[in-house]
Amino acid sequence: MPQHHLMVEPVLALKDNYVWLFKTSAHTWAAVDPGEAGPVIHHLDSLGETLSHILLTHHHHDHTGGVEALRRHGVARGYTPLVIGAEKDAHRLPPLDVAVTGEQRLSLGDLEAEVMEVPGHTLGHVVYRVLDTLFAGDTLFRFGCGRVFEGTPEKMWDSLSKIRALPDTTQLCAGHEYTLVNLQFACSLEPNNAALQTLLTHIFRQTDMEQPTMPSPLGEEKQYNPFLRSDDPAFAKNIGLTGLAAEQVFASIRKKRNSF
């Protein structure tokens, strides 16, 4: 039977970044957004396995800072990981071995990745889909989304809508552990939403025990992530934005979140 579920390993880096690791063949791994090399090297060396690919979602240093050290570490041990990122941002990403242009497929050892362009957080932001798993970088977080640094709220809403069209069973693996504060923000928007309060109790407990809150199903985001609900009239009404267009609702709650 063909494999459809991807096993992933979250590696905590810097303050609250995740480097996501997954196997590309029997003894090789891929690392997504290595903001730091140390924890990735530790993981690989403890298994005696190697890194075949480095996937980059965008150019921010907390997602790319470990690339050079990982490459050097590999070369010193006789292997060279291939660095993959968006051609659009090649000038401000670490040197790329594979520059992806738009929507395309990539082969990663025994697996395949599908690239989606999602401008908004940065103009060249891409996400990668491998089997049932989405590596979302700083575009979609659990119960939240990235800040709109380079694009417009319209662009970001468009990008999030593209992600929302993926199947409910998609596993979300985002670039940061922001789940608790995102959910607290969602609760502040809708204090009368009992389902959010129930989730909050659960996330409090998980965060307290320092457990990663992802991977988590995209279906849950469609239901509870306020940013993905920007085009739901009932939601707009509940937060006092009756009659606004989706992009306007999105822009308004993104602005509120910036100062939360």
Q: Would you tell me which residues interact with Fe ion (CB under 5 A)?
A: 62, 138
SS3 category, 196:
helix
Total Cβ atoms within 10 A of residue 197 = 13
Question: With CB cut-offs between 5 and 8 Å by kind, which of Zn ion, Fe ion, none does residue 221 bind?
Answer: none
β partners of residue 129: 114, 134
SS3 category, 113:
strand
**Nearest to Zn ion of 89, 138 (CB atom):** 138
> 19 vs 34, 155, 214, CA distance in Å?
5, 26, 12
**Length of the chain, in residues:** 260
What dihedral angle (degrees, nearest 10) is formed by the CA atoms of 251, 143, 84, 159?
A: -30
* Residue 60 sits in the site that holds Zn ion (CB under 5 A): yes
**Nearest to Zn ion of 60, 142 (CB atom):** 60
Question: With CB cut-offs between 5 and 8 Å by kind, which of Zn ion, Fe ion, none does residue 88 bind?
Answer: none
Q: Name which of 218, 223, 219, 113 is nearest 174 in CA terms.
A: 218
What part of residues 167-226 is at the interface with Zn ion (CB under 5 A)?
none
What part of residues 133-172 is at the interface with Zn ion (CB under 5 A)?
138
Question: With CB cut-offs between 5 and 8 Å by kind, which of Zn ion, Fe ion, none does residue 89 bind?
Answer: none
At its nearest, how many Å lie between Zn ion and the CB of residue 61? Answer: 9
Residue 214, token pair as written in the block:
């992802």
Residue number of the CB atom closest to Zn ion: 60
At its nearest, how many Å lie between Fe ion and the CB of residue 89? Answer: 14
SS3 category, 108:
strand
- Cα 243 to Cα 136: distance, rounded to the nearest angstrom: 30
At its nearest, how many Å lie between Fe ion and the CB of residue 138? Answer: 4
Pick the stretch among 55-63, 100-108, 124-132, 214-222 that binds Zn ion (CB under 5 A): 55-63
Question: With CB cut-offs between 5 and 8 Å by kind, which of Zn ion, Fe ion, none does residue 33 bind?
Answer: none
Question: With CB cut-offs between 5 and 8 Å by kind, which of Zn ion, Fe ion, none does residue 129 bind?
Answer: none
* Residue 89 sits in the site that holds Zn ion (CB under 5 A): no
Pick the stretch among 21-29, 53-61, 69-77, 84-92 that binds Zn ion (CB under 5 A): 53-61
**Nearest to Fe ion of 19, 113 (CB atom):** 19
Percent of the chain as helix, strand, coil, to the nearest 5: 40, 25, 35
122 touches 158 (CB < 8 A) = no
- Summarize as ranges the residues that interact with Zn ion (CB under 5 A): 60, 138
